[in-house]
Amino acid sequence: ANTKKKPRFTIFDVLIAIVVVAVIAVIAYVLVIAPMQGTGAQKQLDFVVEVQESTLDVLDLVKEGDTVTLSGKSEATLKDVSFSPAERLVLDAMTGEYKNSLVPERYDIYVTVTASASETDKDISVGNVPVKVGTRMSLEGRGYSINGAVLEMTLYNENGEAE
């Protein structure tokens, strides 16, 4: 006589397993995937990122028309690249006043980035990267990665007019 009982799976066990997997899938979709897909209207966004105190080597790599990745997540295009000699606020020991002083061999780069963005009540996002004035952002292009802060933003409606 065989005293060992074989585990038997019934149709109910299979149905319970399917229901559990379906519930987990729905929860994952609602909490993870849906928030990444901007549900707002698609609009054109231009924003300026200031990269402070870069070298001439970096400046030579960053070109208008480059496709860049924003903070490792979404793609955008560089619409304009400009620069100015970098300045730093320093204390003049003789007068006791603060003055702007040029930083030798350093440049502040101003990159205008353009991308398709979604606007919701909460924020404006390029892909799943929220863009806000003051936000630190990484721009990664061919052969370079630069970091700066968003200085200004312009959102355009479907007629190409600034909002």
Same domain, 81 and 143: yes
Q: Where residue 37 falls among pLDDT bands split at 50, 70, 90?
A: low
pLDDT in tens, 113-154: 999 988 887 888 888 888 999 999 999 999 999 999 999 999
**pLDDT value at residue 147:** 93
Measure the CA–CA gap between 132 and 60, rounded to whole angstroms. 27
Question: What band does 17 get if pLDDT is binned at 50, 70 and 90?
Answer: very high
* CATH label of the domain that carries residue 71: 2.40.30
147 and 95, same domain (yes or no): yes
Q: Are residues 144 and 78 in the same domain?
A: yes
Quick check: pTM over 0.85? no
- Residue 129 domain boundaries: 39-156
Q: Is the pLDDT of residue 85 over 90?
A: yes
Same domain (yes/no): 56, 121:
yes
Residue pair 146/138 in contact by the 8 Å Cβ criterion: yes
> 59 and 12 in one domain?
no
Whether 95 and 33 map to the same domain: the answer is: no
3, part of any domain: no
How many CB atoms neighbour CB 98 within 10 A?
A: 10
Q: How many CB atoms lie within 10 A of CB 137?
A: 21
- Same domain? For 132 and 69 the reply is yes
Determine the 3-state secondary structure of 161 from DSSP: coil
| Domain total of the chain | 2
- Is there a single domain that holds both residue 75 and residue 144? yes
Residue 118 and residue 72 share a domain = yes
pLDDT over 90 for what percent of the chain?
Answer: 55
Q: Are residues 136 and 124 in the same domain?
A: yes
Whether residue 1 is contained in a domain is answered as no
